[in-house]
Structure 1
């Protein structure tokens, strides 16, 4: 079953076209990893799916519903999508627990006791139950990113979007975040992931999509795209990563 479908999506900023006629289907429970150089459109694509950007043309469907229809309630759509940013985006003056309960209470109308129950359950799931009353600056980078993932997961989303979630981490902290994503994949979470971690893509992705100048230039299983790419641009990009 297709959960997410993009058809002919186009997005530009003035004369700069960032996404060109972009089409991609993501099945329920599938992990699709987006790779490509900076400026290739990966982050913009995630922001369009989460309705943080308005597409200029094309359609984005989630579970068969056209979420790019201007009549759609964007907050309602986002309640079914988890978005994890590369820079955590935790509020520094709030505790970890308050960071996670803020949107369910303020945006989605969840009663505070229920929001706290869900948040504590999610913090336990990501191994941060003992940090519920801590402030973000009392956590390591890996712990902050796991808290951000807990915040994205607290509403039991249909789809999880992750934008370079290890890029701001020290190398020794990357593993703990990737381990959590592996667990989510095993549990059947549908994920669209931007990353430069090729080992993660190789191990966890069902498919890898290489973006070049806003187009999905090559899509296929990790073994094909990463080890035997057909497109010269893909080979060039991967060779730069290895050098």
Structure 2
């Protein structure tokens, strides 16, 4: 059974249909990379999975439970999902450690000592243990993004959602974040990743899903979607972002 299942998911804002009957299955331990032009629905899809947006139709299941059921406890669902955005969204007046412990302590009622211990484990994991007492503006962009990933991991999520997490970084800092994601994948973390980093998609993804007008126009292994795409629109997109269709 898939860890994450989306069936017929639809989302629109006024007359603008952003997701149009979207279907996707993500198995435990898989990394599925979402690619597509701006406005194709990638970010909205992640926000629907994390219940930051309410779907208009369709079903999203996580570990077999219908999380789109109005009776679902959104806070409980979110505690099992980590989400990281392209903007780091760290509170500038708090230390890195306090940023990471804020939600566990205030939302999930984790004892402070337990939360701090777990947060330090995560900072060690992402190579930032020595920055625990620093403020976000004392960190590089890559360090801030790794801190945001540590914050998303602190509750031991079943699923990680990553939305263009390298797009705001200087080119020389992109690699350190992508290396961390590669390590998480190797450790068995299930990930749904929006990115324009085609090399990362080719190296790490189990499936690549090309979105067009809110639908999964083409989905399959990286070698098929990136190097031998069947759809003309996929070929056009890849020509634009990487200069090749693999053909």
Is it true that 1:206 corresponds to 2:222 in the alignment?
no
Q: Give the distance between the partners of 1:242 and 1:166, measured in 2 at CA.
A: 16
Within-5 A mapping of 1:21-36: 21-36=21-36
Q: Give the distance between the partners of 1:109 and 1:85, measured in 2 at CA.
A: 24
TM score, norm. by length of structure 2: 0.98
Is it true that 1:86 corresponds to 2:86 in the alignment?
yes
SS at match of 1:219: strand
Query: In the alignment, is the contact (CA less than 8 A) between 2:32 and 2:205 conserved in 1?
Result: yes
Q: Deviations over 1:8-31 (max 9, x none)?
A: 000000000000000000000000
In the other structure, the counterpart of 1:47 is 47
Q: Give the distance between the partners of 1:232 and 1:153, measured in 2 at CA.
A: 38
Q: Give the distance between the partners of 1:19 and 1:242, measured in 2 at CA.
A: 25
Following TM superposition, the consecutive aligned residue runs of length 4 or more in structure 1 with deviations greater than 6 angstroms are none
TM score, norm. by length of structure 1: 0.99
Aligned-residue Cα RMSD (Å) equals 0.5
Q: Deviations over 1:57-116 (max 9, x none)?
A: 000000000000011110110000000010010000000000000000111110100000
Shift of 1:218: 0.1
Alignment gaps of 5+ in structure 2: none
Within-5 A mapping of 1:188-199: 188-199=188-199
Q: Give the distance between the partners of 2:195 and 2:241, measured in 1 at CA.
A: 12
In the other structure, the counterpart of 2:123 is 123
Query: In the alignment, is the contact (CA less than 8 A) between 2:198 and 2:242 conserved in 1?
Result: no
In the other structure, the counterpart of 1:164 is 164
* Aligned length, in residue pairs: 243
SS at match of 1:9: strand
Alignment gaps of 5+ in structure 1: none
Q: Deviations over 1:96-139 (max 9, x none)?
A: 00000000011111010000000000000000000000000000
Q: Give the distance between the partners of 2:192 and 2:222, measured in 1 at CA.
A: 14
In the other structure, the counterpart of 2:174 is 174
